[in-house]
Amino acid sequence: MSNQPLAERLRPKMLDDYIGQEHLVGKNAVLRKMIESGNISSLILWGPPGVGKTTLAKIVANTLDRPFYILSAINSGVKDIREVIDKAKKQQFFSRPNPILFIDEIHRFSKSQQDSLLGAVEDGTITLIGATTENPSFEVISPLLSRCQVYILKPLDKEGLLKIAKLAIKKDIILKTKKITIRENQAMLRFSGGDARKLLNVLELVVLAEESDKIVITDKKVTDRLQKNLAIYDKQGEMHYDIISAFIKSIRGGDPDAAVYWLARMIAGGEDVNFIARRLLILAAEDVGLANPNALLLAQSTFDAVHKIGYPEARIILSECVIYLATSPKSNSAYSAINDALELVKKTGDLPVPLNIRNAPTKLMKEIGYGKNYKYSHSYEGNFAEQDFLPDEIIKERIYHPQQNPSEIKILERLKKWWGDRY
C-alpha cells in the first residue's frame, strides 16, 4: 500500500468521498441520480487530466456492484476488446448484471477499434464508460457517440484542490504520521493547474524530500523542489557561449560591424552553420519582430539556403542576413507578449474558452451552446465586430503592447480604431 503513489492511495471509493464535479455528482445532479437509480447507460467523461474521470468510473462500478474491466487505448487493441466482450457474454448465463468496460483515453482508439465496441454497447453486453481529454465530437465515431451520453468534467477549483490536500495530510497512511502545515499554497496550486493528481504528486514530492517529520510547506519550498536544474557548461565551453552572446547582442544593438566580426569569429572557429542560422531565425522574431516582419522571412530563407550549400559559400548568405537584421528597426513586442501570456496562463490556469467563440461543427456542441452569439467579422463594416474573445476572468488584461516604430505605430492606429480606449 505504501509503495503506491499518494494519488492512488487517496483515490476515493464512494461517491460521498468524491471531491469536485458538483454539477454532475452533487445533490440531485444528473449523474448522481443515474447512479443511485441503479441504471447506468453508456457514457463518455470528457475533461482535462486529473479531474477524476477514472475515479468516477470505478465509483460507478463499486456502487452498482458491477464487474469492472479497464482498457487503456494506448496499449490495447481490437483483440483485447473482443476478449472483454467474450467474458461479458459468458457472465450473462449466470444472471449477473452486465459489466462496465472503462476505456481510458478513448480518443486514441482508431475507427476500427471503436467499431468493435458498437455491437456490445448496442445490445447491452457491456456498459461503456470512456474517458477522454479531447472533444468527443471529433475523436469518437458518430455511431458510438450516439449510443453514449457525454458528461463534461471541469478543472478543480482552488477550494476543491485544497480540500484534497488537507484530506491527504489527515488520512493518508504515510502523511498522517507527520506534522504537516501548509503555510503557503499558491505555488502548489499553480503547478497543479486544476489537476488533483499533479497536486498530490507535488505534495508527496515536497514531503518525501524532508528529513524531519515536522514539515512546513511554503511557495519557495515547492518551487525549489520542482524547478529544473540549469545547464552547466564546462570552462572550455565558456568562450563558445561568450562569442554567441556577443554576436546576438551586437545585432540586437544595431551594430553591423561588430555583428559581422563576431560572425567571422564563429565561422573561423568552425561553428556549425545550421546553429548560426537557427540563432538568426530566433533573433529575427525576438528582437526585430513586428518592426520589420520581413526579417523573419529573410532569416528563414537564410536557414534554408545555408543548410543546402554549406561552407564556404554560406558565409556570404549569413553575412547578408546578419547585416540586414542588425540594421533593421527593432521591436520585442511579440516576444514580450507571448512571455506575458504564458505568465498569465501560469497564474490563472486553464480558463474555459468563452462559449461564443468555441467551434460548433456538430449537433452535440451546438446543443451545449458552442458558438452562440458569435459575430462573423466579415459580415460587418470594415470587417470588424467588437466582441469578447478572452475568458471573463482576464477580460481587461493587455498582453500586446505596440512599440514606437513605423510598422507598429500603424498597427496601434488600427487597434485604436477597432477597440477604442482599450489601446
Mean pLDDT rounded to a whole number for the chain = 86
Within 10 angstroms of residue 356's Cβ, the number of other Cβ atoms is: 15
Distance of CA 252 to the CA centre of its chain: 32
Q: Name the burial class of residue 40, with classes exposed (0-12), middle (13-18) and buried (19+) by CB atoms within 10 angstroms of its CB.
A: buried
* Cα(408)–Cα(295) distance, integer angstroms: 15
* Max avg pLDDT among 99-103, 179-183, 319-323, 366-370: 319-323
Its CATH architecture, for the domain 158-226, is: Orthogonal Bundle (1.10)
- Give exposure, 111-136, as e/b (b: 16+ Cβ within 10 Å): eebbebbeebbeeebbbbbbbbbebb
Domain boundaries, the chain: 20-152, 158-226, 235-327, 348-422
Q: What is the pLDDT of residue 355?
A: 83
* Cα(422)–Cα(418) distance, integer angstroms: 9
Check pLDDT > 70 for residue 332: yes
User: From edge to edge, which strands make up the β-sheet containing 68-72?
Assistant: 68-72, 100-104, 127-132, 43-46, 149-152
**Residues 202-248: tens digit of each pLDDT:** 888 888 888 888 889 998 888 887 763 223 222 334 456 678 888 99
Q: What is the pLDDT of residue 228?
A: 39
CATH number of 235-327: 1.20.272.10
CATH number of 348-422: 1.10.3710
Locate 378 and state its grid cell: 466579415
Q: What is the pLDDT of residue 237?
A: 41
**Residues 178-200: tens digit of each pLDDT:** 898 899 988 888 878 788 888 89
* Cα(183)–Cα(165) distance, integer angstroms: 12
Contact 368, 362 (CB under 8 A): no
**Residues 35-69: tens digit of each pLDDT:** 888 888 899 999 888 889 999 999 999 898 888 89
Q: Cell 510598422 belongs to which residue?
A: 407
> Residue 190's closest CA among 145, 149, 158, 215?
158
What type of residue is 225?
R
Q: What is the pLDDT of residue 124?
A: 85
Question: What is the chain's percent helix, strand, coil content, to nearest 5?
Answer: 60, 10, 35
Check pLDDT > 70 for residue 261: yes
Q: What is the DSSP letter of 42?
A: -
- Share above pLDDT 90 across residues of the chain, in percent, rounded to a whole number: 30
Contact 261, 229 (CB under 8 A): no
Distance of CA 215 to the CA centre of its chain: 31
CATH topology agreement for domains 235-327 and 348-422: no
Contact 359, 333 (CB under 8 A): no
Sign of CA dihedral 283, 288, 293, 295: negative
Q: What is the pLDDT of residue 2?
A: 57
**Residues 112-166: tens digit of each pLDDT:** 888 889 988 988 888 999 999 888 887 888 899 999 999 999 888 889 999 999 9
Q: What is the pLDDT of residue 232?
A: 28
CATH 3.40.50.300 fits 20-152, yes or no: yes
Peptide bond into 354 cis (omega under 30): no
pTM of the model: 0.55
What type of residue is 369?
G
Q: What is the pLDDT of residue 241?
A: 65
Contact 97, 66 (CB under 8 A): yes
Within 10 angstroms of residue 86's Cβ, the number of other Cβ atoms is: 12
More confident: 83 or 272: 83
Region for residue 6 given its phi and psi (left: phi exceeds 0; alpha: psi -120 to 50; beta: otherwise): alpha
Contact 20, 163 (CB under 8 A): no
**Residues 71-128: tens digit of each pLDDT:** 888 788 888 888 888 888 887 666 677 889 999 888 888 888 888 899 889 888 889 9
Q: Cell 480558463 belongs to which residue?
A: 351
Q: What is the pLDDT of residue 231?
A: 30
What type of residue is 152?
I
> Residue 6's closest CA among 175, 156, 229?
175
